[in-house]
Every structure is written in structure tokens, then in C-alpha cells.
Structure 1
């Protein structure tokens, strides 16, 4: 469980929140435990998206215990809960009350928009993805990568190249008669290669 926590982060809490948390530990210990778990895993905006099944796995309890604990925390204004997806297949976004705990500058708390840290268990993911059975995602070249010509390629454009974006690799094509053709750098059209 410790490897799921954000690395190099911190949270702050109000003294009054600690006093209330101490009371919560005595009266509703599972709700207090869940609150600690959510605060430990929230992002800097105080949000975490996770299913109740995963929370139950993390705490070693049943999902009914999680549901009861969430109800307590919501009713007593420890956190706000928003559903992401349908009632049956969705997850909850938990937003910790900023007067209880926060992980960002105090002045940034006035903004309502937030990103969330999302936690998934292996059971919630596609097994083919986990086992590496799917082909890798398509990747585009990054700025600075070198172009490597391979294969026959595609026909050159029928219009002149944009200024500054001229082809950097000459394409030489041989027709059935043995003549060599190349792209005219100014017009972008094919021309017979001279000296070839």
C-alpha cells in the first residue's frame, strides 16, 4: 500500500481537525481510518478517485463497511463525494474538506477546479493490458528525432512545400525505363533527376 502514496508530498491539517479526528477515532474508528487513507492518497487539490472495492481491499474490510464510513464522513462534512460514471459501474471522486487537510498553498484553496489521483486495483484493469498482450500504443516522433527513410514511401505532395518545411530527405524513384526522378525542392513536384 505504501507504494501507491504520492512520493515527495506533504499534507497539512488544522489543530481543530486533529481534535475532531481524535473524537472520530473513538466513536467511528473505521470512518477515521478511511479518512486517514484518503488524506494519505489525495493529490495536492485534496481529491482522489477510487472505487469502494479498492478502498475495502486497502483497509482489509468489506465494501459495506466502506459505504457506512463514507456516509459518516460525508454527513459530518469531512469530505464531499461525487460519482464518476453509473451507479453500478462507476467510482467515486472524494474531495477532502480543505479545512481538515490540504497539500497545496493555502491561497490556492479558493479554486473549485481540481484534478484527482486515481487508484485502480489489478482486478479493475484489462488483464490483456496487465499481461502485456496488447501491442504497444502508436507513438509519434518527438521533436529532435531523426527521420529514417525506409520502404517505398508515399507519393510526394502535389503542391509546393511550405517555406521552411521543405523535405529534408531527397526521394529518388526509378521508373520502368530506368529513368531516375526526384522532388523539385521549389515546386514539390517530381522532376527527372539530372546526373543520375
Structure 2
């Protein structure tokens, strides 16, 4: 039996799972980005650190990125603009949050031959500071029972017990 990630691992999925690959062609531009906008550089590395294995995407709000970098939301907005203008990332709006898609020509995890599918999934990051103030208390409550419609089209709500089925309901 071989260790996961060894050359004889035939699945390949776990091989180098925690590694991110970087194209050497972009190192000079990365140094330029670090000088141009240290916050943009930090955000880019944060996104790469958390991006999905096959999609290079992370979903979070600018407020989360502001908390991560210790910057204002406005500063994060300017940094995101730099990253977009310089083609490090692209964004997809999802309500008030964004999916940040890292340029896969620069950073990637999965083999490039696994990138032929148009599947969108992402790492989603939600901060406690963005939730309702009582979200921890709400999480302790049992969810409401989902109504059930029986054969007689009677809506049942709450935790009421249904009568046992009549034999005429059984296919014998």
C-alpha cells in the first residue's frame, strides 16, 4: 500500500492537495503588484490560500476582506479594482457578496487537463460580524417542522401525529 500523494497513487485527487502551483511567468508582475498595492497583494494571496481546488473561486464580502486585512471596506474596494484591472482576478456578483475567481493561468491546484468543465463551486467565507446579532442563539433552536400534505390534501403543521394508514391505502 502506498502513501497518499506518492507517485504510485492512482487516484491523483489527493496528490499534492495542499499545494498551489504558480506560473514563473508572473513572478515579476507579482513583485510589481506588491509594490503598487500591498493590500491587493495580500488579498490575492488570501484568495489563493482559500480558493477551490478546481475552480479557483472564493465567495465572500468586502467586509470580510476588510477584517482579514485590517483595512477599510473602501480600501479593499480599491484593491479589488487593482486586481481586476491587472487581470489577477475576476468577480461574479452574488447578492451583496462576490465570487472572486483567481486567474488560473497564474495560480492553480488541479491538473490543467481537469479544467475543461464549466462547473462553478467556491469556498464561501462568512464572518460572524456579518450575521444577525442573535445568530448564535438562533442556531440553538430546533427548526420548525415542515408541513406535510397527505392523500386527502390536508396540510399538517407542527408536530401533530398522523393517524395510521387505513388498510384501503395499502396495495395488497
Gaps of 5+ in 1: 1-7, 140-150, 163-185, 187-196
Scaled by the length of structure 1, the TM-score of the pair is 0.64
1:39 aligned onto 2:48: yes
- What residue number does 2:75 align with? 65
Answer yes or no: is the 8 Å Cα contact 1:48–1:116 preserved in 2.
yes
SS class of match (2:59): strand
Name the residue aligned to 1:161. Answer: 170
- Which structure: larger Rg? 1
Corresponding residue to 2:137 among 131, 136, 140:
131
- Superposed, 1:48-127 pairs within 5 Å as 48-85=58-95, 90-127=96-133
**Equivalent residue of 2:40, what SS?**
helix
Structure 2 unaligned regions, length at least 5: 1-16, 146-159
Normalised by the length of structure 2, the TM-score is 0.72
Provide the alpha-carbon RMSD of the alignment. Answer: 2.5
Equivalence for 1:26: 35
Contact kept in structure 2, 1:79 and 1:95, CA below 8 Å: yes
- Shift of residue 132, structure 1, vs aligned partner: 4.8
Shift of 1:138: 6.7
